[in-house]
Amino acid sequence: MMNFDKAIELYKAEPTKEKLHEVADLLLGKMTVKEKIRMLQGHAMGVTIKNFLTKGRFYNGEAYPAGGCKRLGIPPVMFTDGPRGIVMKKCTCFPVSMLRGAAFDDELEYRIGEVFAKEASALDANLFAGVCINLLRNPMWGRAQETYGEDPYLLGRMGAALTKAMQDNGIIACPKHYALNSIEDLRFSANAIADERTLHEVYLPHFKKCIDAGAMSVMGAYNKVNGTYACENKKLLTDILRDKWEFDGFTLSDFFYGIYDAVRSLKAGMDMEMPYIFRYATLGYSLKKGDITEKDIDTAAARILRALISTLPKHKKYPESVILSKEHVALARETATKGIVLLKNKDKVLPIPADKKIAVVGRYANKRNTGDHGSSNVFSPYAITPYEGMCNRFGTENVSLYNGCNISDAVKASADCDYILVCVGSDWLQEGEFLVNLGNVKKKPKGSGGDRADLHIPEEDMQLIKGLSDLGKKLVVNIMGGSAYIIKDWIDCADAVLMSFYSGLEGGNALADILSGDISPAGKLPFTVAEKAEDYPSFLHLGAKNKDIEYGYYHGYTLFDKENKAPHFPFGFGLSYTDFEFGDVSLEKDDKKITVSLKLENKGNFDGDEILQLYIGSDNADADRPVKLLKGFRRVAVRKGESAVAEVSADIEDIRFYNPATSEWELDSAYTVYIGTDSKNVIEAGKINF
């Protein structure tokens, strides 16, 4: 008898795309129309009610089921969210994706994905919707913390690594939110307008990389794209995703309000409504009316079956004991150390010598601050604060605490100390998923999540920094938050400045690892820090009457390059405790890639990592081209006093430009290749011709 187990058996015997389609169609042929429609619907209402009544948790306390057919043994899709860990029960809270973007390490991201897959499996999930790769175009975006940065190539490399890790371990990877989703407060009504070239070159290539890495599901966004809701946008869901990219999996809607019209969405290519039966409850009626056909239903159901049949054979069930294991916690700490960015270190005031006394002050000195409290919240049983981390490393007797913003109290706590560590930035009240606005819209920090009201840190924090700078002590500022801040108005008051983002359950220990010099910082900014807010592209805030917004071709470092404007800190910037020096540089090209080789020498007193960044610019003066674009990176470890020959490559396919006239990707005749340590600090490695 043909059932799910038989389909798996047939596919495993011949794991080809053709065979996958064949066995999925055979299984589909055994299903009734009612069963096929059920495959397209989320069934999480019972789980939600149970979780709310028994655990006090509204969202994703257990895996959310969708689809499935008991009669034929077809398992349901079992959904868990992310991206800083598994949101179900109490799992390992990793640093947010933005910090992991700052690590510029896709091999590390793959290892993180393996942990996510194990913890998801232990809690019976088989789909991970934590591959968030929306592009950061303006730091006002409240959910910036959930993505990897402002650059499409960086997003693609990191997202592909996480995607591959999940799929390799039998968990369906779900990149999101497709597409042009980078405004939170108006996420249900914003209309992102982008021309063809901007769409394909800037806002979609990272999704394509995840599809190429094997993703078998994609989540649609809430917003409109060029006038049509993303979850009923045929151009996005069918013309590009299926016809151009040959995506073979299924699409699912963003939750609750992703679908407005079942017929339009299904015909556009939206396969599954999540998490409850709502709009898709009418599919049977629409079929009887003739608004949709059984073929429309079959097409969507077959895609879901293909994802299950191709992915689940690699699935391994893990015991719950793997959750929060020593190995997982250690990786979370390692990740945090690799992504923390050192922005300033005047007179090498850092690292802090072991015999010094330290005051830890500020609103986040001893407060759990792991990020957004929305759908990405991970309920780890603990989170090490900066104060706790410094105590663990330097000893309680050498560390004092004041958890607040009152200057006189902070001065008292700092009286006998050599160093003051001020912890400032944001938390879930100032930025994150827009849950509910508890205060005045104009005073958004009193709300709950949503887009930032201001790109500066709060006024009390700035006054605290300025007040403490008069004490004559070593002043170190630790910025916690999701993306860039305007810091030009106070940075001169600080001796050292770090950005630790939201660094997970081991964040305080990781911060102490960096401040003590046990580990030399090597994180690099995954975004551009401007001197003033007006230097970023336009943004839509709550209350805007016109919901249309132009998503232009230039943003981030490409915009600063285009306008020949100096940022405060460039994309890719980050300091180290050690000193690296470039040696001989050479350039080679073959049919598939461009490779830059160079000697990297560590001439300082610390072992350390350097992140080499490969940028490529077109020499086609007749076309509007960015000055340069990131097309390769590599994290290289070099011990003090030693050197290494490092190679950084760029794929030829990644340097093509989209021609709207032909709908094809084309090479220019000549390019200049740059190698460096940030988008401004580069040297020319050579030129290539085609």
What's the confidence (pLDDT) of residue 266? 98
Determine the average pLDDT of the residues in 182-190.
Answer: 95
Query: In CATH, what is the architecture of 580-689?
Result: Sandwich (2.60)
Q: Tokens 């999101």 belong to which residue?
A: 176
The catalytic site residues sit at: 254
Which amino acid, one-letter code, is at 525? L
Is the pLDDT at 648 greater than 50? The verdict is: yes
Beta bridge partners, 74, equal: 69
What's the confidence (pLDDT) of residue 55? 77
To which H or E segment does residue 601 belong? Answer: strand 593-602
Determine the average pLDDT of the residues in 578-584.
Answer: 96
pLDDT digit string, tens, across residues 509-548: 999 999 999 999 999 999 999 999 999 999 999 889 999 9
Rounded CA gap, 364 and 362, in Å?
5
Residue 226: CB atoms within 10 A of its CB come to 17
pLDDT digit string, tens, across residues 547-563: 999 999 999 999 999 99
Would you place residue 441 in the very low, low, confident or very high pLDDT band (cuts 50, 70, 90)?
A: very low
Strand runs (DSSP E) across 394-431, as ranges?
399-402, 419-425
Of the chain, the percentage scoring pLDDT greater than 70 comes to: 98
What's the confidence (pLDDT) of residue 88? 96
What's the confidence (pLDDT) of residue 53? 81
Domain residue ranges in the chain? 4-321, 332-562, 580-689
What's the confidence (pLDDT) of residue 449? 85
Is the pLDDT at 358 greater than 60? The verdict is: yes
Is the pLDDT at 445 greater than 50? The verdict is: no
Is the pLDDT at 439 greater than 80? The verdict is: no
pLDDT digit string, tens, across residues 165-174: 999 999 999 9
What's the confidence (pLDDT) of residue 438? 41
Cβ-contact 46, 31 below 8 angstroms = no
What's the confidence (pLDDT) of residue 499? 98
pLDDT digit string, tens, across residues 234-284: 999 999 999 999 999 999 999 988 999 999 999 999 999 999 999 999 999
To which H or E segment does residue 64 belong? Answer: strand 64-66
What's the confidence (pLDDT) of residue 447? 53
Determine the average pLDDT of the residues in 120-128.
Answer: 98
CATH number of 4-321: 3.20.20.300
Assigned token pair, 644: 């290494």
Is the pLDDT at 437 greater than 70? The verdict is: no
CATH number of 332-562: 3.40.50.1700
Rounded CA gap, 353 and 248, in Å?
56
Q: Is 501 left (phi over 0), alpha (psi -120 to 50) or beta?
A: left
What's the confidence (pLDDT) of residue 444? 46
From 96, 171, 670, 129, select the one nearest 432 (Cα to Cα): 96
pLDDT digit string, tens, across residues 102-111: 999 999 999 9
What's the confidence (pLDDT) of residue 58? 80
Q: How many helices (H) and strands (E) does the chain have?
A: 19, 27
Beta bridge partners, 252, equal: 219, 272
Would you place residue 436 in the very low, low, confident or very high pLDDT band (cuts 50, 70, 90)?
A: low
